[in-house]
Amino acid sequence: MHVKRILPLLALAAGGLVSAIGTVGAVEKDPAVRHQLEVETTEGKVRVRLIVENHGETTIYVPREVAVEDELTGRRFDVRDAKGTPLDYTGRMVKRSALTAADYQAVDPHTMHVNTIDITPTYAFKQGRNSYEIRYDGPYLADVAKLDAVSHSPAAPVKFSFGK
């Protein structure tokens, strides 16, 4: 969904929501594009909310899989345990050719785009309550006609706890 930048984010339910609000500036490369992660760990699930903000004057394009889908088809997030060991990706793997323009979602100037993905079945979370960290590299295109000119605006890492 697109939301005008001037509208405030809706208040989020208190249970298990973790985000890196306020620390993103340390990792963003293009101040016009900002990726942010929020993690909610309620009801036995790990839901990742990806927020893409386009503060620029032109449309940007982000991968549709994380922008609109509710299921991953490959390791899109870097999820690690408290020791820094990457969690195995256990979700559906789809072998595909190079991305085309149809694989990108437009984010208009001065808007934000939000999508939530349940990653519980796609990463090998350990039994019991454990600490994790999730990262996202934030790939995007400034011009969908130039598919080889991928820019990155990494989201700040988010630490969270989860137990099965």
Mean pLDDT, all residues of the chain: 85
Residues in the chain: 164
pLDDT, position 96: 73
Dihedral angle of Cα 132, 84, 36, 152, to the nearest 10 degrees: -160
Round to whole Å and give the CA distance between 38 and 161.
13
Confidence of residue 7 (pLDDT cuts 50, 70, 90): very low
Contact 75, 119 (CB under 8 A): no
pTM higher than the cut 0.85:
no
Percent of the chain predicted with pLDDT > 70: 81
> Is residue 132 over pLDDT 90?
yes
Contact present, 119 and 160 (Cβ < 8 Å) = no
The pLDDT tens digits of the residues spanning 33-70 come to: 999 999 999 999 999 999 999 999 999 999 999 999 99
Q: How confident is the model at residue 17 (pLDDT cuts 50, 70, 90)?
A: low
80 three-class SS: strand
